[in-house]
């Protein structure tokens, strides 16, 4: 299978046109839960970016040797090894955030985007484009979640990254901290983007 | 030590896992298949049933393997790998058994089974079980309760979507994932009302 | 057959490689992780004993403060942390860790008791898996601060030092605000804290006095 487009195109298409969240609504499970604080979202997204880029390189570098039948197992092994590495690094260098993230770091393993990019792209392409593809997809994903977390933290805690930005008289929206707020925010965000750019995200029905 | 860490009763845990801490509505786990497949009631039921079966069995399996193999060997940090491989191979095994002996059931569940491996809810349940120090019985009940809770959420959303699609006139951008997320948000809000329920028993 | 063998060997080989890689990285960071955990525990102890309520940014500073002001004893298989005053002489308080089953999983806290064992200096909940936004609010300042100054002299009719009841209701000095919407967590906290406090007063305190 030929490489789809130049390196730059591969990198940028994940950001917008092929944005995993806006277009396919994939992979949000592991991160949506921690989007009520910007700092937690940043760390989770950094973890995903690392895992996705590294997994794509590894899967791609091994693509000619991996027997087809066991490729899912091999991919799972590769992905989970990188996730453990991320987990260890967060524990070592960001101990407080590691407590707040709890089990969610481990759940990057089941983030459908990681498996999805390995299967759809890295399995058939050389390492460098695969890495760029993973990087672009992960960045596009992080972009959407960061926007959501900024809105949630501002309305829910009246702060961004822990710095209070709203006046004292501001009534905090408790719902934004809790689960329903995340669902509403993502739903509305997708609605706005799709209404604005209908040609990009036409539903194929 | 006189502190017993396993005071929570099994029935309480079971109902709490379904209603107050619904794995989908409060922990956001299992969202991807939820959004993609909650189009119609029938397939949601099929997928839900498969998930209940797999969550119950894998939480027991993972519990046994974690406490009897990983802990004695001091390999706790490999639990991610172990859990995901157990889940993946269990799903494959179940698929083969069902295909071989229950062909009718296979036609019903068949296409959903492979999707389960990447359902974060399953791995999430195994991870929560370890973090919360559940006993084997608690792990099983928690697995079953969470599976049923997931099934309940996805079938509810599927039926609501069905109604909306046939009657309401939605703005174009909101169709599909947008409205699914908003319905899920409303349900999640509604389920928060259950949080007082558990203490009654 | 040859293919199967290749698959098995291949899987075995890469499992080995990745296990080695992960173990290597873990080994390199193990010390750092353990140090982080120790630092976190020290901060919790210092805060429960009201020695430093602020977070100390420098690890060395916290370490020296801890070494100067905290002594450790073992009584009834339990670690008791003894807080000393500025000169490192007089005892200002005792801290010990307590845990109990919360609504979802274990809750652990550090309890600080005054040097004369008459009242609480503070409580820090440092570990829980309760629902974020509900039960997990036990770690919020307003909840923990309520316990500061609680008298250990009198017990109510059911033998408890304090009760938690819904916010907004009529309060006495040993009745604190529970967390709205998290009755399960509040009940659990009330139960195990009272049990641990009784244990301290009835069994640990006499031994501590005898020793010092």
- Are residues C101 and B4, on separate chains, in Cβ contact within 8 Å? yes
Digit-coded pLDDT (tens) for B33-46: 787 777 778 778 87
Better-scored residue on pLDDT, B49 or A147 = A147
- Nearest neighbour of C36 by CB, restricted to A67, A92, A174: A92
- Are residues C103 and B77, on separate chains, in Cβ contact within 8 Å? no
Count of C-beta atoms within a 10 Å radius of residue A24 = 17
Extents of the domains making up chain B: 10-189
In a domain, C143, yes or no: yes
pLDDT at B102 over 70: yes
- Nearest neighbour of B199 by CB, restricted to C104, C184, C192: C184
Digit-coded pLDDT (tens) for B123-172: 889 988 888 788 899 899 999 999 999 999 999 999 998 888 888 788 87
B189 contacts in chain A (CB < 8 Å)? 175, 180
- Are residues C11 and A74, on separate chains, in Cβ contact within 8 Å? yes
Q: What is the mean pLDDT of chain A?
A: 84
Q: Which of B173, B186, B194 to mutate to test the interface with A (most CBs of A within 10 A)?
A: B173
Mean of pLDDT values over B93-100: 80
Instruction: Tell me the H-state helices in B17-135.
Output: 31-37, 41-65, 71-73, 79-101, 103-109, 113-117, 120-131
C29-42 burial, b if ≥16 CB within 10 A, otherwise e?
A: beeebeebeebebb
Residues with Cβ within 8 Å of B37's Cβ and at least 6 positions away in sequence, in order, are B43, B44, B47, B112, B115, B154
In a domain, C126, yes or no: yes
Which of A115-119, A143-147, C126-130 has the highest mean predicted lDDT (pLDDT)?
A: A143-147
Count of C-beta atoms within a 10 Å radius of residue B162 = 15
CA C145 to chain centre: 15
Of chain B, the percentage scoring pLDDT greater than 70 comes to: 88
In a domain, C169, yes or no: yes
Secondary structure in 3-state letters for chain A: CCCCCCHHHHHHHCCCCCCHHHHHCCCCHHHHCCCCCHHHHHHHHHHHHHHHHHHHHHHHHCCCCCCHHHHHHHHHHHHHHHHHHHHHHHHHHCHHHHHHHHHHCHHHHHCHHHHHHHHHCHHHCCHHHHHHHHHHHHHHHHHHHHHHHHHHHHHHHCEECCEECCCCCCCCCHHHHCHHHHHHHHHHHHHHHHHHCCCCCCCCC
Q: What is the pLDDT of residue C49?
A: 85
Q: Considering only CA atoms, which of A106, A136, A179 is closest in space to residue A20?
A: A136
In a domain, C33, yes or no: no
Of chain A, the percentage scoring pLDDT greater than 90 comes to: 31
In a domain, C60, yes or no: no
A83 contacts in chain B (CB < 8 Å)? 80
In a domain, C48, yes or no: no
Give the number of domains in chain C.
1
* A200: confidence class by pLDDT, cuts 50, 70, 90: low
Q: What is the pLDDT along chain C (212 residues), one digit of tens a residue?
A: 788 888 889 888 998 999 899 999 989 998 888 888 888 888 888 888 888 766 666 777 788 888 888 888 887 778 888 888 877 778 888 888 888 877 777 888 998 888 888 888 888 888 887 766 677 788 888 888 888 888 887 777 777 888 887 777 766 777 788 877 677 788 888 888 888 888 888 888 888 777 76
Distance (Å, whole) CA C93 – CA B7? 31
Distance (Å, whole) CA C148 – CA C144? 8
Residue of B nearest to A205 (CA): B176
* B1: confidence class by pLDDT, cuts 50, 70, 90: very low
Which of A48-62, A90-104, B101-115, C105-119 has the highest mean predicted lDDT (pLDDT)?
A: A48-62
- Are residues A85 and C25, on separate chains, in Cβ contact within 8 Å? yes
* Residue span of the structural domain in which C142 resides: 70-211
Q: Which residue has the tokens 């509604």?
A: B190
- Chain C nearest CA to B195, separation (Å): 7
B171 contacts in chain A (CB < 8 Å)? 191, 195
Digit-coded pLDDT (tens) for C109-139: 998 888 888 888 888 888 887 766 677 788 8
- Are residues B119 and A203, on separate chains, in Cβ contact within 8 Å? no
CB proximity A100 to B under 8 Å = no
Residue of B nearest to A196 (CA): B173
pLDDT at A6 over 60: yes
- Chain C nearest CA to A20, separation (Å): 27
Distance (Å, whole) CA C117 – CA C94? 8
Helix orientation angle between B120-131 and B79-101, rounded to the nearest 10 degrees? 130
């Amino acid at each position: 299978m030929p490489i789809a487009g130049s390196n730059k195109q591969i990198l940028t298409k994940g950001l917008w046109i092929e944005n995993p969240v806006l277009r396919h609504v994939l992979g949000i499970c592991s991160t949506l839960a921690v989007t009520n604080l910007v700092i937690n979202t940043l760390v989770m997204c950094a973890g995903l970016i690392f895992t996705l880029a590294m997994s794509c390189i590894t899967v791609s570098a091994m693509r000619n040797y991996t027997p087809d039948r066991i490729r899912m197992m091999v991919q799972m092994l590769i992905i989970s090894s990188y996730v453990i590495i991320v987990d260890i690094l967060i524990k070592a260098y960001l101990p407080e955030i590691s407590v707040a993230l709890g089990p969610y770091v481990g759940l990057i393993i089941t983030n459908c985007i990681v498996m999805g990019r390995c299967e759809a792209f890295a399995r058939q392409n050389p390492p460098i484009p695969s890495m760029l593809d993973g990087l672009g997809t992960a960045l596009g994903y992080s972009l959407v979640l960061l926007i959501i977390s900024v809105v949630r933290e501002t309305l829910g805690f009246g702060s961004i990254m822990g710095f209070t930005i709203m006046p004292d008289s501001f009534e905090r929206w408790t719902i934004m901290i809790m689960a329903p707020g995340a669902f509403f925010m993502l739903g509305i965000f997708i609605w706005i983007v799709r209404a604005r750019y209908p040609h990009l995200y036409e539903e194929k029905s | 030590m006189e502190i017993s860490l396993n005071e929570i009763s099994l029935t309480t845990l079971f109902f709490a896992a379904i209603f107050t801490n619904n794995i989908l509505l409060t922990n956001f786990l299992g969202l991807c298949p939820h959004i993609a497949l909650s189009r119609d009631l029938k397939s949601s039921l099929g997928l839900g049933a498969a998930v209940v079966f797999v969550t119950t069995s894998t939480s027991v399996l993972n519990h046994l393997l974690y406490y009897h193999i990983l802990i004695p060997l001091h390999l706790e940090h490999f639990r991610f790998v172990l859990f995901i491989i157990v889940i993946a191979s269990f799903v494959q095994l179940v698929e083969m058994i069902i295909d071989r002996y229950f062909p009718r059931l296979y036609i019903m569940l068949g296409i959903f089974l492979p999707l389960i491996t990447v359902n974060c809810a399953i791995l999430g349940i195994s991870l929560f079980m370890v973090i919360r120090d559940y006993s084997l019985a608690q792990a099983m009940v928690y697995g079953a309760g969470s599976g049923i809770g997931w099934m309940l959420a996805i079938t509810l959303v599927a039926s609501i979507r069905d109604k909306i699609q046939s009657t309401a006139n939605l703005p174009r951008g909101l169709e599909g994932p947008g409205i699914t997320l908003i319905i899920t948000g409303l349900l999640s809000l509604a389920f928060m009302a259950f949080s007082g329920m558990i203490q009654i028993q | 057959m040859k293919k199967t063998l290749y698959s098995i060997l291949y899987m075995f080989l890469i499992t080995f490689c990745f296990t080695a890689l992960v173990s290597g990285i873990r080994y390199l960071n193990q010390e750092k992780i353990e140090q982080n955990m120790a630092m976190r525990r020290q901060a919790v102890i210092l805060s429960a004993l009201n020695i430093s309520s602020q977070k100390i940014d420098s690890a060395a500073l916290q370490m020296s403060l801890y070494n100067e002001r905290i002594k450790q004893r073992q009584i009834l298989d339990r670690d008791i942390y003894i807080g000393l005053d500025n000169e490192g002489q007089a005892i200002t308080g005792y801290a010990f860790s307590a845990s109990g089953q919360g609504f979802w999983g274990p809750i652990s806290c550090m309890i600080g008791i005054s040097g004369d064992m008459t009242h609480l200096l503070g409580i820090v909940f440092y570990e829980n898996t309760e629902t974020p936004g509900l039960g997990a609010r036990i770690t919020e300042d307003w909840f923990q601060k309520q316990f500061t100054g609680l008298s250990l002299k009198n017990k109510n009719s059911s033998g408890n030092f304090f009760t938690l009841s819904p916010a907004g209701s009529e309060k006495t000095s040993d009745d604190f605000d529970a967390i709205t919407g998290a009755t399960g967590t509040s009940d659990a906290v009330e139960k195990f804290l009272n049990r641990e406090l009784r244990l301290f007063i009835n069994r640990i305190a006499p031994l501590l006095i005898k020793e010092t």
